[in-house]
Structure formats: structure tokens, C-alpha cells
Amino acid sequence: MTTSKSGGDNSYWSIKETSNYSQAFIPEFEKKEVSNPTLFFVTFNQRVAPESVSLITGPGIIGLYIGMVFVIGQFVRSLTSGGSQTIMFDELPNVDRLMKLCKDLYFVRENGELALEEEMFAKLIYLYRSPEMLIKWTKRKVS
């Protein structure tokens, strides 16, 4: 590839691409005498990705980048979603009374007291459905 000044034979620069690695280290300007100083670059370009990663690199580097951004975005979204529904239950200050109610419920169930179990279970469901009562039950006691 060559570009030239205003239509003449003088060129600003030229690019020559060789596929033979042994010839790339012996540039043609060293074989003949050059009057002008010449800058020479050797680059190694791999044109084809290995077949094992062709599924990933098929869309190109931009597609790979966009895919990674979407994957990381979905991961962060899955970690942070649903917090507003569970924060009320995760951040209770003192759950000792709730834990005692659950243990008593288990004990009543083991003893076969079905009527008492039904009352205690209804109370537990009422507590979890009513945020005000849940807050009252889990307040820290001031000594």
C-alpha cells in the first residue's frame, strides 16, 4: 500500500506485508543501498484465532467486550436484586422472642397438641405479615 504526494512518484510511506517470517527479518532496504534513512517495523499478526475459541472471538473484540459487560451486569443485578423484600427480615435487632416462639411451636408439634400448634402458627404468620408487630416484637429491651 502506498500513498503519494499530489500525484507524483514520491511517496510519503509504504507498507509491505510478508507472510514468510524468515524474510521479515531481512528487509529489502538492507539488500540495496538506501540514501534516505528508513524506519522499519516488524510486527507479528495472527490473522485467525484458534478453532477452540472461535465461538468467543467470532463477533470480534467489540462483541466480546459487550458480551462481558452484559454478563458482569447480569451478575451484579442478580446479587443486588430482591434486597428490598428481605431487608425487613434480615436486619431485625433482637429475634430472641421470635426464636422462642418457633422452638415452642416445634415442641408443641412434637407433643401432638394440634389446637395449640394451630394458634401458635397463626400468631407466627400474623407477626410476619404485620411489619408493625414484627418491629414491636424485635425491639431491643432497654435495661
Q: Give me the pLDDT at residue 143, please.
A: 65
DSSP letter at 112 equals: T
Q: Give me the pLDDT at residue 62, please.
A: 77
Q: Give me the pLDDT at residue 67, please.
A: 83
Q: Per-10-residue mean pLDDT for the chain, 143 residues long?
A: 52 65 54 59 65 67 82 91 78 88 94 93 92 87 73
Decide if 105 contacts 58 (C-beta within 8 A): no
- Per-residue DSSP letters for 47-101? -S--GGGHHHHTTHHHHHHHHHHHHHHHHHHHHHTTHHHHHHHHT-S--HHHHHH
Per the listing, cell 443485578 goes with 77
Q: Give me the pLDDT at residue 4, please.
A: 44
Q: Give me the pLDDT at residue 2, please.
A: 46
The residues spanned by each domain of the chain are: 52-81, 85-137
Number of residues written out for the chain: 143
